[in-house]
Amino acid sequence: MSKMTWLMIGGVGFLLGSRAGRGPYERFTSTIDDLASSPVVRDAALQARRAVENATRDVAQRVTGDRRPRDGADLPAGLA
């Protein structure tokens, strides 16, 4: 499993297993909010999204046998 999966499992386990009150939960959610708003994390998420979009496009082209780029130039104006 990836590191992110283990971190998420750990976070859920921490939240479900914590009996120390609201304090640990507040610290945990604050840390997650800080990470989500970090420019480094946002940039990494954007790069991951672009990589997935490119891979999806490549797989679709291989499956359909279409070697043309899918930029929408050959579609009607309302569909591009």
Taking only the tens place, the pLDDT of each residue in 50-66 is 999 999 988 888 888 76
Does a structural domain hold residue 53? Answer: yes
Range 67-71 contact pairs with CB under 8 angstroms and sequence separation of 24 or more: none
Does a structural domain hold residue 32? Answer: no
Does a structural domain hold residue 48? Answer: yes
Taking only the tens place, the pLDDT of each residue in 29-49 is 899 899 889 999 999 999 999
Q: Count how many domains the chain has.
A: 1
Integer Cα distance of 67 and 71 in angstroms = 12
* Domain housing 45: 39-64
Check whether 70 has a pLDDT greater than 80: no
